[in-house]
Amino acid sequence: MLILKGLIKLTKDVIKPLEIVLLTILFFITVIFIKYKPVYTVTISGKTLGYVTEKSDLENRINEYINYREGTIALIDIQQMPEYHFELIPRNVNTTENEIFERITDSAVITYRTYAVTLNGESKVEVDTEIEAQNVIQQLQSDLQAGVEFELGIVEVFKTEQTSVDENTAFNELNSIKVAKTEEYQAEQARIEAERLAAEQAAREEAERQEAARKAAQAKQSAIAGSIGSGNVNGLALTNPLRTSPLITSRFGESSSRRYSSHTGLDLATSLGTPVYPIANGVVTFAGWQGSYGNLVIVDHGDGIQSWYAHCSEIYVGVGTEVTTETNISAVGSTGNSTGPHLHLEIRINGTAVNPQNYLY
């Protein structure tokens, strides 16, 4: 019993001081909560933004903001999230949840998704939705003139600034470009057509000029053929075999070191390849190589009259061919015993060579 009484007395002695301590603590806590209030200090990079009563409320509000997806917003990024520190502040200091939220969201980077209408591969104008872009393209293509370089497309665009316009504005901007390109195309086509017509006109004029020149040349040749050496043998009318004014380089009856006898014909020098025509209508009795004559054509005109055409570069007729004064029988050459391009012309009557200058030249 004495021990129990002793323990009770000891307990009372200990509890009484503890009660005093607890009461003191409670007093100070009461005083603190009367003068101060618990809050969370919100900081970013060590810089204090303000105070909030509930950390979770601000966090939820920030998360809702980040996940907001309306209109053209594709992404909201807050690069530095706030930090929170618990502390007591005087009760007369206000919390600033709304201000803190605004300061945090002001630093957010917003990425917008729009749809650009491209022209010939280059972005021209942006609208909010793909449907709007398709509508704009459909309207622009409805009356687009074939041939105008106006290729339209759609590209998805992500930007940190809002640059889209409404559908009508987009159409008007692109339509003004279409009108300008159409006018440019039409002007170019008109220029091309004008050049084509001018070229056709120039070609017609050139053809007319050449035809006039050809006719003039024919008239001149006919005049030459009629005026230079026209005559007849025993009533047979003769014409110039070259249709030109050749140079006589060796006359009938001349002698030279190149010949064993006097010259039996008339040498008419002219350009290599000049066409040769019969001096009168007849039939070819020889066409080929004949010794010093080279390539030779002989035409029989009847009544014992023959004409010989020697040193030809080409022969265009054969034995038995009926020819007229318009038949190109050979070309001037320098075959056989010859010193240069010329026609050796002989006229024979009953086998005897006569001077061609009695009838021609």
For residue 235, name the pLDDT band (cuts at 50, 70, 90): confident
- Phi first, then psi: give them for residue 259, nearest 5 degrees: -115, 155
The answer on 348 and 247 residing in a single domain is yes
For residue 62, name the pLDDT band (cuts at 50, 70, 90): very high
The predicted-structure confidence for 260-273, as pLDDT tens digits, reads as follows 568 899 999 999 99
Which value, in Å, is the radius of gyration of the alpha carbons in the chain?
Answer: 60
The answer on 140 and 96 residing in a single domain is no
For residue 89, the model assigns a pLDDT of 85
Mean pLDDT for all residues in the chain: 86
Q: What is the C-alpha separation between 133 and 217, in angstroms, rounded?
A: 71
Structure tokens at 71: 């209109």
122-126, 135-139, 357-361: the lowest-pLDDT one? 357-361
For residue 166, name the pLDDT band (cuts at 50, 70, 90): very high
For range 230-249, the mean pLDDT: 82
17 lies in some domain:
no
Our count of domains for the chain comes to: 3
Identify the domain containing residue 94 by its residue range: 29-107
Structure tokens at 279: 């001096």
The answer on 281 and 313 residing in a single domain is yes
Q: How far is CA 361 from the centre of its chain?
A: 64
For residue 11, name the pLDDT band (cuts at 50, 70, 90): low
The answer on 275 and 346 residing in a single domain is yes
> pTM here?
0.48
Neighbouring C-beta atoms of residue 75, cutoff 10 Å: 13
**SS3 category, 134:** helix
Picking from 179, 195, 219, the residue at the C-terminal end of a domain is 179
189 lies in some domain:
no
The answer on 252 and 334 residing in a single domain is yes
Question: Please, are residues 302 and 348 in contact by the beta-carbon 8 Å criterion?
Answer: no
- Nearby residues of 228 by Cβ (< 8 Å), 6 or more positions away: 240, 245, 360, 361
The answer on 242 and 354 residing in a single domain is yes
Structure tokens at 79: 């690069």
